[in-house]
Structure 1
Amino acid sequence: MIGNWTQTDDAQLHQLFKEINTFSEWIFQHHEYKRPRGAKVIHDGVWGTSRYNDFEISLINSPLMQRLRNIHQTAYTFFTYPSSHHTRFDHSLGVTSQVGKLYSALKNKFQYSKDEKDQLPDDFQTLRTAALLHDCGHGPFSHTSEEIYKFYPEIEALLRNIPFKSASPHEAMSSLIILSKSFQEFLNKVCIACNKQIDRKLMVEAIVGYVSDPNSRYKVDFLNGPFDADKLDYLFRDGHFSGLPLNIDLDRLWYAIDINMAEENRRLTVDWGGTSSLEQIMFAKMTLYPAVYHHHKVRACDCMYKGIIEYIKSLSIPFNDFIKSDDKSSLFERAIHFLYFDDNKVFEILARRSEDIKLHKLIHNLFYRRLLKRCVVISADTIEEIESLDHILKYREEFEEKYREIADDILEEAGRVAENEEIGVDCPSDPNFNSAFDTWISPLKNGDCEFNLTKFFSITQWADQYKHRKWRGHVFCPADKVDVFTKATKKVFEEKLKIRFKPIAFELCHIQPPN
């Protein structure tokens, strides 16, 4: 399926494939490949010392990977947690290291087994290569840009295709880059020079989480499963650099890892003794979301960035004013445009538009941390009728523009005393705990049935607990206009959304509840 799915009559997809090939040509245009002298050792602040062979160093030295040095892993969290300056580059190296740990754990477990099913095929290099490249499709500030372009029609069309239905937008973009002509030519050179063979089909499937062969599902689990290398790295890395170290017993997890049949697929499974490690992974995720990813200062920055992109799109600046290209569309009108920018280059737009006072204000406010402030907290604890929370949450995944309409209503009610881009209604998505339903526990003995992690604890209860005790949304506005927007927000929510706030909704923002 992966090999021929790009043959499509869909105009949106055809255009996207063409744009991806153009980007791939652009980023490799000045790259002259030279084979490294040998393997290199890289020291990491999270995992310590790891070795990468000459093939992997060739990929690491490529402009596609080097671009990730300038894309923050956790977007604007460094404005709240000053040490969280880690990047997608660091993360990609860490994920590769963790693939090695997972593979070694299985190899050690099976080394004395004479059972044919316990013999690992030699896909180690393919899985490490997928780990290195899995985030090459990220745009500036990682998931913050992804929250914008995931609603673009070409991305929605892409994610309707079978290989990508369970993939995130950046994973789908990463896979398209890997399949592009220029990258394949580069990869062929590296494979020949370093005498390596890579299963390209498996590499792409591991990145997007698509399984064409049920007997190879466990290979995909290395990078796209319930306790994959990607999750292990970002949980440890984000927690470490945010100053929130998390307790996950990886030694026990390595010891407990296995391969078994589950729902007619060969899967990575965990022995009974390792279930506590899986529980720790779920708990770590629940800890990081409210404390880091959904911290109100972090979300305020996300709203400000989205406002900047929204304003730039409204200016209809030709894309080829910034990147020499035949692309006649306006800047950020297409999802591919985000790939041409990293975190630094987004702010360089200001240098090209120095006469635009409004753009200057929007970018400088964010760059120098003059952040928007909360004027209300939206949560199960802050509204009068808990059932009415769904009146605002129902728009999160499919109707993002509805939040823009609500923000415009609030701005109108306030007398338009601020810029459109300075008002944000932010309702972040819940963390996905459904992986527990797909996390399989090894049978105690032959003949026993497989079962998933929900046998040990109720994931539904965890998800409900998060929604009703941890989740918070906000309305953001300029710091000097909080009073007027507090009143306007209260009125709009009561009249148009039928949501009435308790006094604590405003007190949590350190402001007096409006009359």
Structure 2
Amino acid sequence: MARIARVDWILKQPMVASLPELRSGNLEVSRVRIPPTMDVPITPRVRRLLDSAPMRRLASLSQLGLVSLVYPGATHSRLEHSLGVYANAVSLLRRLQDQGRQSEVADPVAQQAFLVAALVHDAGHWPFCHPIEDMGNALDYCDEGPIMKHEARVDAMLTDGPLASCLAKDWDCSADDVSAILCPNTIGRRRRLQISPSSISFYASCLSGPIDIDKLDYLQRDSLHAGVPYGRNFDAERLIGSLVQHPHEPRLAINEKGRTAAEMMVFGRYVMFSEVYWHHTVRAATAMLQRVIFELHYAGHHEHAVQGKSIDVRHWANDDDQQWIERLRTAARESQDVTMIQLVEGLFGPTRQLLKRVAQFNAESGDSIHSMLARKPYNWLVGCSNYLTNRMNDVLTKPLPSSLVLIDAPPVKLEVDINIDVIDRSDRSMKLGDVSPVASVLANRQFDNHVKRVRVFVPESVRSELRRSTDDLNGLISRWLLEVVNDDFGSMEF
């Protein structure tokens, strides 16, 4: 009954700027300037969150990690990105306020939870966590469990520690309210929810959906710092101005005026993945880092592993970038494994030495190989690369260690759908892919299969020798991979 009474009260309230972060002319609001020219409104309670240790730590974490090996300017921090997402959250709430639609999303407690979620959504990150999380269950810690995902780390921070203290002191929402917006699939185990499931669903879609305030920031920000135009070639102001609450479901949509901006954003995201996030050299570095982590994690635990003391990267989760890198370099040196040292120093040493692409396959030109290797468990890919090395060693003049033949493939986790609903003047909804020829191909064919290619990397000297043996290196690697997977290896479990 209390919940029903609260909802009934909300629906009767006028849509007013009840939060200090939304009030224009509020003398308590200061401004923080972030690139390119964004003013972020900061109230005292937001400042206390920003000054907490978990948020300050984000200033020493790179947003794009290994991308800076290809795009030297891409060294901006996760704190800068978090501020941008929070600023977008404020703009969105003001947009909803201007619409005047009466609904549960007008609940001030839900709005507060959304603002906090936008600000702290990356607080659980650690250096290079996305490549490590993409390895799935490959880093098995037996009785101690797998690596905690960064979302789960935020959940823990909201219930104990500096963020929890700030939340209890300054905000009306609970930790469960914030966490439910960040991870809506956990709503069933939340016991201290003060906001409705509809509010959770709506604000979760605002933070992670086909078009959301997170993508609105990182596409533009990453594009700016990388020095490429791809992620900035859409009208962000127009798009934010077109965001609406779906008339029939608790999620974010756009009106007809935002269709062109949405089309351009979808295409910009496609190009950013293709040319920046999954650039072949970025992925070479990523594959090198993943293999080092894998080999050092299992050091001495199986016959093909490097010898020495194994590493536990869970204990490095609170490090900044430089601390984490030095731990890895030290672990590689202590392993006394020449290959591990070569890979780590090639990434983080005084001279950049990356493995080279010897073959690549996508959904158009190499569908059989792509579909065979995409979204396979990381352990399986390691096993496959070991067998592929044997094929290579049959033609090479000098045997090659299997840890220098790396297969990089789209991870198990898929990217979020890009097919947002477009709402017309009669409140009818249509999928963006149904009204946009630009978006229809990407909306109706899996995004990952286009932008995330399967690639094989080897040392440059090996690539040169293999090229001398054939005029069709991609075809040769393809035949070897088909042989490897169709042999006994294909049915093995890792």
Deviation at 1:121?
2.0
Shift of 1:40: 4.7
Instruction: Name structure 1 gaps, 5 residues minimum.
Output: 1-37, 160-167, 318-328, 500-515
Aligned to 1:304: 288
1:107 matches 2:90: no
Q: What is the aligned partner in structure 1 of residue 399 from structure 2?
A: 417
Residues 1:374 and 2:357 are matched in the alignment: yes
Residues 414 and 484, structure 1, Cα contact 8 Å, conserved in 2: no
Report what 1:171 is aligned to: 151
Kept after mapping to 1: 8 A contact 2:105/2:111:
no
Residues 177, 152 of structure 1: CA spacing in aligned structure 2 closer, same or farther, 3 A cutoff? Answer: farther
TM-score by length of 1: 0.72
Amino acid at match of 1:422: L
1:278 is aligned to: 262
CA 175–489 in structure 1, closer or farther in 2 if over 3 Å, else same:
same
Match of 1:132 among 109, 115, 119: 119
Which residue does 1:204 correspond to in 2? 179
Q: Secondary structure at the match of 1:476?
A: strand
Aligned to 1:121: 107
Residue 99 (structure 1) shift: 0.6
Deviation readout 1:223-281 (Å, 9 max, x if unpaired): 1233221111111111111112222212222332222333xx32222211112222122
Q: C-alpha displacement at 1:312, in angstroms? A: 1.8
Counterpart of 1:51 in structure 2 is 41
Q: Equivalent of 1:252, from 222, 231, 238?
A: 238
Match of 1:190? 166
Report the TM-score, using the length of structure 2 for normalisation: 0.75
Matching of residue 473 in structure 1 with residue 454 in structure 2: yes
- Paired position in structure 1 for 2:431: 452
The one-letter code sitting in structure 2 at the alignment partner of 1:450 is S
Give the deviation of 1:391 after TM superposition: 2.4
> Is the Cα–Cα contact under 8 Å of residues 61 and 321 in structure 2 kept in the other structure?
yes
Q: Residues 114-157 of structure 1: CA distance to partner in whole angstroms, max 9, x if unpaired?
A: x64498221333222111211122232241122135555689x9
Does the CA contact (< 8 Å) of 1:209 and 1:224 recur in 2? no
Residues 150, 238 of structure 1: CA spacing in aligned structure 2 closer, same or farther, 3 A cutoff? Answer: farther
Q: CA contact under 8 A between 2:434 and 2:440: conserved in structure 1?
A: no
Farther off after superposition, 224-233 or 62-71:
62-71
Q: Percent identity?
A: 22
The letter of the residue matching 1:278 is: A
Rounded Cα–Cα distance in structure 1 between residues aligned with 2:450 and 2:299: 41
- Say if 2:218 is the partner of 1:237: no
Q: Distance in 2 between matches of 1:103 and 1:360?
A: 50
Instruction: Give the counterpart of 2:480 among 464, 468, 492.
Output: 492
Deviations 1:446-489 (A, max 9, x none): xx543332331365622549677655321101122224566684
- Structure 2: unaligned runs, 5 residues or longer: 1-27, 189-195, 302-308, 470-475, 488-494
Checking the alignment, whether the CA contact within 8 Å between 1:73 and 1:141 is kept in structure 2 is no
When the two chains are superposed, the root-mean-square deviation of aligned CA atoms in Å is: 3.4
**Contact 1:175–1:208 (CA under 8 A) maintained in structure 2:** no
**1:124–1:279 CA distance, 2 compared to 1 (3 A):** same
How much does 1:83 deviate?
A: 0.6
Residue 493 of structure 1 deviates from its aligned partner by 1.9
One-letter amino acid of the counterpart of residue 372, structure 1? L
Q: Is the 8 A contact 2:59 2:80 kept in 1?
A: yes
Contact 2:202 2:252 survives alignment (8 Å): yes
Q: Counterparts of 1:254 and 1:382 in 2: how far apart (Å)? A: 37
Q: In the alignment, is the contact (CA less than 8 A) between 1:375 and 1:475 conserved in 2?
A: yes
1:354-388 C-alpha deviation (Å, 9 max, x unpaired): 454434333211113200011112235554xx445
